[in-house]
Chains A and B, each alone.
Chain A
């Protein structure tokens, strides 16, 4: 507890310093937003495992480290950054330690209804345009990391899609954590506003250059207007010393159709929060995720789906593959508010454990206050089927390739839920490369048996 208090002291220093130079510091509403958030963070501190929402994830490695806000420094060269870019993108924004790197970014030729810039630039240029949305959706009271992110709100991507605009190619945002002598923190804040009847795909991609520990605490508010169709991709592929906390807060209007696809491959301690609020009648939400962990990775997925209007549908599908001592968490919470009649909510979490020491905690949590709803949830935990492996090998496919093929088949369940798009091709490529690495570590293969440690449960509520 003492340690935690001390750390809040270092955050106070950072905040005091940041406050003096923060963009838009002259704007009363922005100043108030940050101050309130920081006060809230000081009040709660970092969550502990006594907190039900953090039962399976211990964030003390983050709380104990003195992270510094990154200062202006030398940018990595384009040659080093380019391999991370998504082929077929509409535009590419690059952020280095949370700050927009104009020299590495390319806006390209976007349709006239699409506006893409850094949030910091938008704050200096026209903060009033941000006021109706920024900080309106993310709940700083229920989550210390969201509060911290809001307190240090400075830069990130700002995407505005004007009513009726359709953009097919993905808008890509790359976040790079670089190495430094002191552990660095960044708090990227993104705001994506897709007005009524728009269509767009957004890719957030988190990577690292270098090997030193870094803490990336990112938050995205995505507003989908009436009838908007938006796909959001989040890819975490930082190195295994990285801490990554991300929160995606979706606000959906009437008949809005939003897909959230998360792919967690990297990071040491990762928490992926996805929080859609189905505010408009008849809106639909797909929450699709794949997490693949090995070594000592800890990958936590916290879903909070709020049904706030009638006739809305939500689908959660998360698949996990865990090897070595990796620990995965899936927490699927569904809240159906009193008026949200005819809600149709479904949740499925499937997991493959590739070693005896890998672990998954999966937890459904349904809170239903309406009386005419359909909510189902289910989870499975299994291993690679020995029968299937032998079948493939008996046709001439070697053991490693057979393993990879079976892992890929499992991952394909998630890929199949993504629309054909350069964003999907991008994640498909990443999954392919990553699974080959996992399949190659065959050390636990001999031990695998399919029968005894298989568990299954399925409930309908």
Chain B
């Protein structure tokens, strides 16, 4: 059974049709990259998969592990194993980073009928993952993302992913705004999590990230539809030619 099956997904935001019929199948172990120009609907797709309610689904269906994902609340999708690394991680003053992560981990453990982890047990796990992402232990007591640099915020997303161990990770422009050193650290963290039973969807605007996280499949999203799919070589082609051709192709009026 495939892990994620998106069939003819249509989504509207503020009375605009953003996704106009997406079809995508992701199997365990696969890494899919979704590329495309600004405004093509990449982030919308990522947010819908994480079950953001502000996005109105007007058609299609999504099965995750055989379950109806669109019927799930955000927290249930997370507990079922979906993780979204945010393009713009949210600052939450007043909640400690470690406390937040332990609360999240325990919510997921509880959902699966496992015992909650206390602070003493959690600490070694947290420290180990901090090390993997070359993050300062001082971040432990800081508020979630508050006062973090752009790179620290993105690393913090991957840190969360490393602790929560999702079945499907959706990385939304995790590379944007990172310098090459930070990009390598983040990629190292992501690659460490590749496994035969975990899938990833890497949303990006640039090919650069895909040198570090090499995908199995590349899809091009334009104007609310997947217009091309291929192997990693497609990303290189896009890097050279840009999205110009694709853009003009899809802007043609559709006759049905």
- Using CB atoms and an 8 Å cutoff, list the residues of chain A in contact with chain B: 385-388, 390-399, 401-402, 405-406, 408-413
B78-101: CB near A (< 8 Å → 1, else 0) gives 110001101001101111000011
Is B78 within 8 A of A393, CB to CB?
A: yes
Residue contacts A-B, CB under 8 angstroms, 5 given: A393-B75, A394-B50, A394-B74, A394-B86, A395-B83
Minimal Cβ-Cβ distance residue in B for A391: B90
Minimal Cβ-Cβ distance residue in B for A400: B75
- Using CB atoms and an 8 Å cutoff, list the residues of chain B in contact with chain A: 50-52, 54, 73-75, 77-79, 83-84, 86, 89-90, 92-95, 100-101, 103-105, 107-108, 111, 143, 160, 164
With A393-B74, A397-B107 in contact, do A388 and B90 touch (Cβ < 8 Å)? yes
From A394, A408, A413, B84 is in contact (CB under 8 Å) with: A394
Q: Whole-angstrom distance between the alpha carbons of A345 and B74 in the complex?
A: 44
Return B162 CB to nearest CB of chain A, in Å: 13
With A396-B79, A398-B75 in contact, do A390 and B107 touch (Cβ < 8 Å)? no
Please report whether the interface of chain A is mostly helix, strand, loop or mixed according to DSSP.
helix
Q: Whole-angstrom distance between the alpha carbons of A389 and B169 in the complex?
A: 20
Q: Whole-angstrom distance between the alpha carbons of A317 and B116 in the complex?
A: 36
Is A405 within 8 A of B95, CB to CB?
A: yes
Residues in A with CB closer than 8 Å to B100 are 392, 395, 405
Residues in B with CB closer than 8 Å to A406 are 92, 95
Return B58 CB to nearest CB of chain A, in Å: 20
Is A394 within 8 A of B107, CB to CB?
A: no
Residues in A with CB closer than 8 Å to B51 are 394
Return A382 CB to nearest CB of chain B, in Å: 12
Residues in A with CB closer than 8 Å to B108 are 396
Is B104 within 8 A of A390, CB to CB?
A: no
Return B202 CB to nearest CB of chain A, in Å: 17
Q: Whole-angstrom distance between the alpha carbons of A154 and B134 in the complex?
A: 65
Return B237 CB to nearest CB of chain A, in Å: 33
Minimal Cβ-Cβ distance residue in A for B94: A409
Is B92 within 8 A of A395, CB to CB?
A: no
From A391, A396, A401, A408, B86 is in contact (CB under 8 Å) with: A391
Is B104 within 8 A of A395, CB to CB?
A: yes
Minimal Cβ-Cβ distance residue in B for A385: B90
- The CB with the most chain B CB atoms within 10 A, among A392, A393, A395, A410, is that of A395
Which 4 A-B residue pairings sit nearest by Cβ, starting from the closest?
A409-B94, A395-B104, A396-B78, A393-B74
Q: Whole-angstrom distance between the alpha carbons of A406 and B78 in the complex?
A: 19
Residues in B with CB closer than 8 Å to A408 are 94-95
Is B92 within 8 A of A398, CB to CB?
A: no
Residues in B with CB closer than 8 Å to A413 are 93-94
Return B141 CB to nearest CB of chain A, in Å: 12
Q: Whole-angstrom distance between the alpha carbons of A410 and B94 in the complex?
A: 6
Is A397 within 8 A of B94, CB to CB?
A: no
From B79, B89, B101, A391 is in contact (CB under 8 Å) with: B89
Is A395 within 8 A of B164, CB to CB?
A: yes
- The CB with the most chain B CB atoms within 10 A, among A388, A391, A402, is that of A391
Minimal Cβ-Cβ distance residue in A for B84: A394
Q: Whole-angstrom distance between the alpha carbons of A408 and B92 in the complex?
A: 11
Minimal Cβ-Cβ distance residue in A for B145: A391
Residues in A with CB closer than 8 Å to B84 are 394
Minimal Cβ-Cβ distance residue in B for A449: B54
From A390, A398, A402, B52 is in contact (CB under 8 Å) with: A390
Is B95 within 8 A of A409, CB to CB?
A: yes
Return B171 CB to nearest CB of chain A, in Å: 13
Return B67 CB to nearest CB of chain A, in Å: 16
Residues in A with CB closer than 8 Å to B104 are 392, 395-397
Instruction: Using A405-B100, A409-B93, A409-B143 as known contacts, list a sample of 14 further A-B pairs with CB atoms less than 8 Å apart, ordered by residue number in A.
Output: A388-B90, A391-B89, A393-B73, A393-B74, A394-B75, A394-B86, A395-B78, A396-B79, A396-B104, A396-B108, A397-B75, A398-B75, A408-B94, A412-B94
Q: Whole-angstrom distance between the alpha carbons of A388 and B77 in the complex?
A: 17
Is B74 within 8 A of A390, CB to CB?
A: yes
Is A396 within 8 A of B90, CB to CB?
A: no
From B92, B93, B107, B143, A396 is in contact (CB under 8 Å) with: B107
- The CB with the most chain A CB atoms within 10 A, among B78, B79, B105, is that of B78
Minimal Cβ-Cβ distance residue in B for A411: B94
Q: Whole-angstrom distance between the alpha carbons of A409 and B143 in the complex?
A: 9
